[in-house]
Amino acid sequence: MEELTASLFDTEPLRPHKWPELCIYRVPKELRVFRDREIKQYTPRLVSIGPFHHGNQELQEMEKVKLKYFKEFCYRTRNAKHTLVKFAADKRCEVERSYSEMFDIDHDKFLRIILLDAVFIVELFWRFSNSQTHVHGNDSILSKPWLIHAIRLDFLLLENQLPYSFLDEFFPNFGNFCPSTFLELACKFFCLKFKGEIPMELKEVKHFTDLLRTFHILPILKAESNDCSERPSTGRERTKALNSAKKLDEAGVHFKAIVSKEVGLPSIEFRKMKGMENCPCFNFSWLLNCFPCLKRLSILERTQPCLEIPQLEITTGTEIFFRNLIALELCHYPSESHNYFCHYICLLDFLISTERDVELLVDKSVIINRLGSNAAVVTLIKGLDSPIVTINNSCYKDSIRRMNQHCKNPWNRVVATMSRVYFPDIWRGTATVLGLIILGFTFWNFIRPFVLWKH
């Protein structure tokens, strides 16, 4: 009995995946390998932050810059080095438990890593925020705008993080030289703009990757808190695939790009008047094509089935951004209903099947293509999709269902074809109307003798 009791209570220490502080992960193999090709968008190219990529020979040049920043930070703030080391030592256990792996690094080396990285981040953020008022001509980073952009991309990598709580506690203790908060400096460095005070959600982030994710879903979080957004279903039924953008366009669905004045990623919504399901003939798209000025009449514009979708600018850094946010959601937010970026990419994967889809979305200003070719956009979106990412139980589920129902109705295609072929603009629309009038008179002249003879 004593042996049984001892065995039950003699439990092993918590492993990393069970630590409550865990928030920084090694990207799993299922996401790192795509079609037998290793994806490099999870690996830093210039600067390593934290222990995951420390020691990478390709990143050693920035280690010299970190030492230089550390010395200048200590000199400018009048902070003794042993005070900084003591602070890092007190937080070592908490920082270690933020990572998904246990590192074979001795105590002093781990303290050196997190301390140099923390000082480098704080000093860089401070210099960047004061770059308008202070001249940093000799700074090896601020004097090169391309280098700032590259470091910004490295800072959003999931594997390349320090816990935000550690940085946020470090800054007030040693950053009294700056009137701004650390969160304000971080938002300025990552070009995150918002109106008024900083939202409470941003003050509770885990690290910089989580900061970017939270910032871009703020409108969705706000809508959900007000019960104004689509609520994901609690069922586990499979969501059917959505038609591509070109097929939706052929079925009469209009695309409206949202250039949001709010922050982040707005909710995607399919709008269609209730009466339009049974009476597609009341779709006045043909009239609005001929007279665009009538779009000011909201009652006419609402007759058009419309997919409102946020404008997306695709650049060379887009793949890095999306891959790391998807990896964060899959590793840290297990609830499928909270995988907002996973669902967003799935939706884009549905919409974009060929270059014609990209061409349509670019024409509708939904996509701003900075990659140069439509084929590159198709390759990027298809590469982001993963078998372990699904759109089931997502906030877009109801919109997808309604769009599929819209495409199934053959009358919607008839009305869309009529609008596209016979009423694309005022000139062809006028010709169509005149043709119908002439056809009507011709028909009347043909039957007129028979009608008069009968009477």
Residues 301 and 186 in one domain: no
- Residues ≥6 apart with Cβ < 8 Å to 259: 311, 365
- Give me the number of domains the chain comprises: 2
Residue 428 lies in a domain: no
Q: Does the pLDDT value for residue 229 go beyond 50?
A: no
- pLDDT for position 37: 77
Mind listing the pLDDT tens digit for each residue in 334-371? Answer: 776 778 898 899 899 999 999 999 999 999 999 999 99
Mind listing the pLDDT tens digit for each residue in 5-58? Answer: 555 555 555 556 667 889 999 999 888 887 767 888 999 999 999 999 998 999
The residue range of the domain holding 57 is 17-216
Q: Does the pLDDT value for residue 125 go beyond 70?
A: yes
Residues 105 and 247 in one domain: no
Structure tokens of 379? 């390759």
DSSP string over 174-204: H-TT-SS-HHHHHHHHTT---SSSPPGGGGG
Q: Does the pLDDT value for residue 232 go beyond 60?
A: no
- pLDDT for position 302: 61
Distance CA 228, CA 222 (A): 9
Residues 21 and 124 in one domain: yes
Residues 186 and 308 in one domain: no
Residues 152 and 267 in one domain: no
Q: What is the mean pLDDT of residues 112-135?
A: 87
28: amino acid identity, one letter: P
Residues 263 and 188 in one domain: no
Residue 423 lies in a domain: no
| Mean pLDDT rounded to a whole number for the chain | 82
Residue 172 lies in a domain: yes
Distance CA 141, CA 123 (A): 12
Residues 365 and 274 in one domain: yes
Residue 226 lies in a domain: no
What confidence tier does 226 reach under pLDDT thresholds 50, 70, 90?
low
Residues 262 and 313 in one domain: yes
Residue 437 lies in a domain: no
84: amino acid identity, one letter: L
205, 214 Cβ separation under 8 angstroms: yes
Residues 204 and 318 in one domain: no
What confidence tier does 431 reach under pLDDT thresholds 50, 70, 90?
confident
- Which range is least confidently modeled, 29-33, 198-202, 416-420, 432-436? 416-420
- pLDDT for position 168: 93
Q: What is the mean pLDDT of residues 139-143?
A: 85
Residue 284 lies in a domain: yes
